[in-house]
A and B are shown apart, each in its own frame.
Chain A
């Protein structure tokens, strides 16, 4: 597609439920990143994919968080047993691999855990 697409745009879930967030990157972008932004805060790195593999998962806050990418395209971020502190905007970005290419961000998924 023309841009990075994320769905849903908003998600309200009850504490303890599992949620799945989806990112559809720009076609041909091999690198995909997930970030999290809590209210009024900066962006916190979660995970990076190159193709279908994730060489850096160091930003995932706990083992309740996982992500996968299939076909070198769509990525899903899964949060199990959601907690209130998981409430944030989850942003996905993609780019063409290489040192001279910038990032394009999606509009994010606003997750609210009640």
Chain B
């Protein structure tokens, strides 16, 4: 099956700093989402971004499908950004079964 790798696995930021999270995937996809799992376990959909670039406030994401990677940018980080960020992809040849990456655990310290 499709492999999804995220980096870095762990990240500690000082409040106000910027960061880039990366998601590499092993095959063609037509569905890619970034999720934030907050400390209470709730998965929040950040972006649906199978290709191109999107921005939402301090967050933005870019997917280059032909090169099989996606990036999530967090600017001016806040303590509320802490949690785990997951990239999830669905294989183009399949029926939209989603495979999750292993996540990036982010801690933003004041």
Contacts and interface: CB of A to CB of B under 8 A. Distances in A.
Interface residues of A, number: 26
**Chain A contact surface mostly:** strand
Interface in B37-88: 41-43, 45, 48, 50, 86, 88
A71 interface: no
B43 A31 contact: no
Interface stretch (A19-27, A61-69, A98-106): A98-106
**Chain B contact surface mostly:** strand
Contacts, number: 57
Interface residues of B, number: 22
Q: Which of B86, B100, B102 gathers the greatest number of chain A CB atoms within 10 Å?
A: B100
Given A42-B101, A48-B97, A56-B97, A103 B86 contact: no
A102 B45 contact: yes
Interface of A: 31, 33, 35, 37, 42-43, 45, 48, 50, 55-56, 89, 91, 93, 95, 97, 99-105, 107-108, 110
